[in-house]
């Protein structure tokens, strides 16, 4: 391998590790040492597992910092972000799996009667120790290292690493997080990155959309570090690891030497060998007394992901080929008029709310055309997935109903199914999340 290529891969490997530590914690840290994880009941597996946490806590911030970082609101003394980072034993793959904060899971044993709750509440009940043991119980994975950081430290770390590049097809505005991002590619400083990482009220909404944006942010940060050739040798890697440790809190056996060792083990890593996913969800509004609306994991699919990590296999191995195409909005929420009986029947079979319109005497040339109001744009991708090759035609003021005019180049109907987990959180490699070049 040419020397410059080896250095570039080493830079990416170190950046992935240290960048993961820098960006994933998006809430306040608790002072004092975190206890080492208890892995007695968890599978030991292969490779190395890190649990990265961000706490929803503001008591360590001044009013000026709260305003500057746009992090107002009431803290919950809970984990706002939980992410599993798995480094393969051979260093050739890095997998990041997000655990949504509202996941309803059994807590590990502690000084309360046995009970379940939102996974983010484990910290309030028993700090980092209970958080680690609860994640181990829920996933069957042994946690080797635990890290957490806060709002201020996250923003400082992004600034210290030169910022991050992100891109979006449409403008993103979220009053709660302070995000105001134009369409296209943007360079974010620490405060901008924090607002982007915390945004929940943009499409797609909620935690799954936020997690995917966080993953894109990480890739933008890594690309910046790699392009700057920040890690050209082990000395520079060690210097960066020490600097980033100023922005995270770790367990008692994780230090700069640990991070440098892990980074060196990943010196052959490439973007296509990084992968990101979110635990699959079966119920997005599972109501529980005292906990409110929670998320239930899709246990069979979640276990496929955790089993892949335990066996040190790629997350792609957990994906099930074939079957209907997953879409992010329920077809039943999309009203459609269709001028072709066969197409109407196909869309109805997937659950779309379909009405038939008179068929034209002669089919127009070209592909099928879908006309709709831009106000209904978030439903368009689901209908487009069911009509491969169709041309989308937004028309302001068109109304609530989509109109499908089948063209002579019609390619039929593909069966779709509503599955937010596989649209917003399916396993994906890093090279597919990066901003396009050119």
CB atoms within 10 A of CB 179: 23
Helix axes 234-245, 3-24, angle to 10 degrees: 0
Bridge-based pairing state of the strands 369-372 and 391-394: parallel
> Domain containing 19 — which CATH number?
3.40.630.190
213 and 294 fall within a common domain: yes
Q: What distance in Å separates the CA atoms of residue 78 and residue 76, rounded to the nearest whole number?
A: 5
Give 309-347 pLDDT, tens digit per residue.
Answer: 999 999 976 666 667 899 989 999 999 999 999 999 999
Q: Is residue 400 part of a domain?
A: yes
Identify the pLDDT of residue 92: 85
Q: Is residue 438 part of a domain?
A: no
Identify the pLDDT of residue 24: 40
274 and 205 fall within a common domain: yes
Bridge-based pairing state of the strands 281-288 and 325-327: unpaired
Helix axes 206-227, 190-198, angle to 10 degrees: 150
266: left (phi > 0), else alpha (psi -120 to 50), else beta? alpha
20 and 107 fall within a common domain: yes
118 and 240 fall within a common domain: yes
Identify the pLDDT of residue 359: 95
44 and 106 fall within a common domain: yes
Q: Is residue 203 part of a domain?
A: yes
Regions of the chain short of the pLDDT cut 50: 1-15, 22-41, 43
- Tokens at residue 329, please? 């909005």
Domain of 25, in residue numbers: 3-322+422-433
316 and 334 fall within a common domain: no
311 and 340 fall within a common domain: no
Identify the pLDDT of residue 279: 95
Q: Is residue 189 part of a domain?
A: yes
218 and 163 Cβ atoms separated by less than 8 Å: no
268 and 164 fall within a common domain: yes
CB atoms within 10 A of CB 169: 7
Q: Is residue 67 part of a domain?
A: yes
Q: What distance in Å separates the CA atoms of residue 173 and residue 196, rounded to the nearest whole number?
A: 9
78 and 165 fall within a common domain: yes
Identify the pLDDT of residue 322: 67
The structural domain count of the chain equals: 2
287 and 190 fall within a common domain: yes
335 and 316 fall within a common domain: no
325 has which bridge partners? Answer: 416
Q: Is residue 62 part of a domain?
A: yes
Give 220-254 pLDDT, tens digit per residue.
Answer: 776 666 665 555 567 767 776 777 777 778 787 87
Task: Please give the C-alpha separations between residue 146 and each of 52, 133, 194, 435, in angstroms, as whole numbers.
Answer: 6, 11, 21, 30
21 and 141 fall within a common domain: yes
187 has which bridge partners? Answer: 165
Identify the pLDDT of residue 406: 97
Q: CB neighbours of 324 closer than 8 A, spacing ≥ 6?
A: 350, 414, 415, 416, 417
Q: Is residue 345 part of a domain?
A: yes
Identify the pLDDT of residue 33: 34
Identify the pLDDT of residue 25: 36
Q: Is residue 311 part of a domain?
A: yes
């Amino acid at each position: 391998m040419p020397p410059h290529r080896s250095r570039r891969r080493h830079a990416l490997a170190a950046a992935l590790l240290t960048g993961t530590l820098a960006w994933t914690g998006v809430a306040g840290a608790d002072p004092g040492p975190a206890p080492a994880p208890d892995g007695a009941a968890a599978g030991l597996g292969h490779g190395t597992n890190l649990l990265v946490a961000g706490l929803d806590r503001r008591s360590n911030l001044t009013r000026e910092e709260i305003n500057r970082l746009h992090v107002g609101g009431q803290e919950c003394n809970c984990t706002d972000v939980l992410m599993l980072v798995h480094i393969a034993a051979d260093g050739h793959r890095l997998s990041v799996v997000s655990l949504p904060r509202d996941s309803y899971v059994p807590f590990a044993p502690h000084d309360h009667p046995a009970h379940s709750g939102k996974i983010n509440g484990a910290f309030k009940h028993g700090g980092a120790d209970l958080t680690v043991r609860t994640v181990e119980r829920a996933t069957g994975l042994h946690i080797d290292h635990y890290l957490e950081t806060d709002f201020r430290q996250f923003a400082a770390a992004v600034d210290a690493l030169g910022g991050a590049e992100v891109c979006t097809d449409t403008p993103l505005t979220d009053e709660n997080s302070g995000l105001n991002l134009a369409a296209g590619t943007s360079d974010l400083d620490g405060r901008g990155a924090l607002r982007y990482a915390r945004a929940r009220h943009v499409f797609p909404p909620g935690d799954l959309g936020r997690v995917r944006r966080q993953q894109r942010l990480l890739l933008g940060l890594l690309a910046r570090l790699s392009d700057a050739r920040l890690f050209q040798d082990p000395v520079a890697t060690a210097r960066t690891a020490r600097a980033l440790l100023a922005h995270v809190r770790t367990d008692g056996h994780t230090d700069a030497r640990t991070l440098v060792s892990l980074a060196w083990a990943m010196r052959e890593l490439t973007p296509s060998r990084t992968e990101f996913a979110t635990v699959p969800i079966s119920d997005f509004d599972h109501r529980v007394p005292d906990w409110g609306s929670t998320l239930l994991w899709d246990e069979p699919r979640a276990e496929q992901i955790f089993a892949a990590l335990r066996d040190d296999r790629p997350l792609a191995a957990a994906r099930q080929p074939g079957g209907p195409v997953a879409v992010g909005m329920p077809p039943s929420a999309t009203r459609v008029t269709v001028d072709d009986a066969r197409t109407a029947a196909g869309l109805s079979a997937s659950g779309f709310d379909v009405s038939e319109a008179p068929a034209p005497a002669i089919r127009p040339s070209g592909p099928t055309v879908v006309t709709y109001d831009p106000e209904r744009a978030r439903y368009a991708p689901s209908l487009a997935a069911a009509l491969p090759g169709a041309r989308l035609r937004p028309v302001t003021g068109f109304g609530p109903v989509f109109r499908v005019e089948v063209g002579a180049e019609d390619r039929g109907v593909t069966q779709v199914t509503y599955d937010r987990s596989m649209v917003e959180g399916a396993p994906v490699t890093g090279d597919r999340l990066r901003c396009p070049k050119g």
